[in-house]
Amino acid sequence: MSGEYDMRRRLIAYGGAMTESNGTILAEELLLICHDPVTGRPLADANRVQVALAGALLADLALADRIRVDERGYVYGLHPAPSGDPDLDALAQRIAMEQRHRKLTWWVHKTMSNKIRTGLLHRVAYRGLMRHEQDQVLGIFPRNRYRPADPAAHAWRRERMRAVLVAERAPDPGTVALLALAGAMRVDGKLFPELPRPQRRWLMKAVVENDGIGQVVRKVIQSVEASTIAVMGAVVVAGAAGGS
């Protein structure tokens, strides 16, 4: 239990999940790994990216003990005081000011937006983590591309995730949360194409259920993963219905 307490104490001191990547939050890490380094395009459609980013922001708050998710999935604000990160602070304040206790799925749905996605993309580009390039389709329609500013760092991020996935590296909360969100987006096949699908899906499930990150942390990540999958399914169905 002392190891889990120490891990959570360090998370609280940071203000978000530790990703070992220059203080980036989970949502930034998710954008970095889920854009193709060659084409600069996202590995999933915009709706899936938006939902996963919302899940990543909530996971950061939960892992830092700024919010609590109970056994029924309801979210409670704990520490709305600013941490210095504008996106996390805004969401923590919004949760604290909500008059009714809402479920995590509700918060994922309410948090997801194109504004959040584009804001985070501009943020990683401003920080020099990604290169924003714009061209035109048919000479008319603008098209945005985001490529890693440092291809070696991008390769390292994916390798770190793969190493945790196949148990070559000890799991940490940030990396496990990223794996869970990548699985919810169904981009794990593009991230780890060398792993056969049945083996890959089994490993994805096993790493999230591993108590090596601590039981409390594991439950937080599983709650966010389940809520993200639920909202993502609803959004995909709604999109299909709207297009029919």
Identify the pLDDT of residue 243: 57
Kindly state the tokens that stand for 3.
């190891």
Taking CA 182 as the corner, what is the angle to CA 110 and CA 193, rounded to the nearest 5 degrees? 155
Superfamily of domain 2-239: yeast vps74-n-term truncation variant domain like (1.10.3630.10)
Residue 9 pLDDT greater than 60, yes or no = no
Diameter over CA atoms, the chain: 60
Alpha helix (H) residue ranges in 112-150: 114-126
* Cβ 101 vs Cβ 76: under 8 Å: yes
What is the share, in percent, of the chain residues with pLDDT greater than 90?
A: 73
Residue 6 pLDDT greater than 90, yes or no = no
- pTM to 2 decimal places: 0.87
Q: Kindly report, residue by residue over 47-91, the tens digit of the pLDDT.
A: 999 999 999 999 999 999 999 999 999 999 987 778 889 999 999
Nearest partner of 5 among 180, 178, 217, judged by Cα: 217
Identify the pLDDT of residue 7: 39
Residue 190 pLDDT greater than 70, yes or no = yes
User: 105 or 80: which carries more pLDDT confidence?
Assistant: 105
Residue 111 pLDDT greater than 90, yes or no = yes
Identify the pLDDT of residue 81: 79
Identify the pLDDT of residue 23: 82
Give per-residue burial for 50-88: e unless 16+ CB within 10 Å, then b: bbbbbbbbbbbbbbbbbbebeeebebebbbbeebebebb
Identify the pLDDT of residue 13: 36
Q: How far is CA 194 from CA 58, 105, 188, 197, 210, in A?
A: 31, 33, 11, 9, 23
> Angle, nearest 10°, between helix axes 197-209 and 215-243?
130
Kindly state the tokens that stand for 160.
């770190």
So where are the chain's domains?
A: 2-239
What is the share, in percent, of the chain residues with pLDDT greater than 70?
A: 87
d(CA 230, CA 185): 11
Kindly state the tokens that stand for 240.
């299909």
**Least confident residue range of 142-151, 184-193, 218-227, 232-241:** 232-241
Give per-residue burial for 210-223: e unless 16+ CB within 10 Å, then b: eeebbebbbebbeb
Residue 219 pLDDT greater than 60, yes or no = yes
Identify the pLDDT of residue 241: 61
3-class secondary-structure state, position 20:
coil
Residues 6 or more apart from 13 whose CB is under 8 A from it?
Answer: none
Burial of 120 (C-beta count, 10 Å sphere; 0-12/13-18/19+): buried
- Mean of the per-residue pLDDT values for the chain? 87
The 8-class DSSP code of residue 78 comes to -
Identify the pLDDT of residue 236: 65
Average pLDDT, integer, range 181-207: 95
d(CA 74, CA 198): 33
Residue 207 pLDDT greater than 90, yes or no = yes
Average pLDDT, integer, range 105-115: 95
d(CA 177, CA 64): 13
Residue 41 pLDDT greater than 50, yes or no = yes
Identify the pLDDT of residue 10: 38
Identify the pLDDT of residue 18: 42
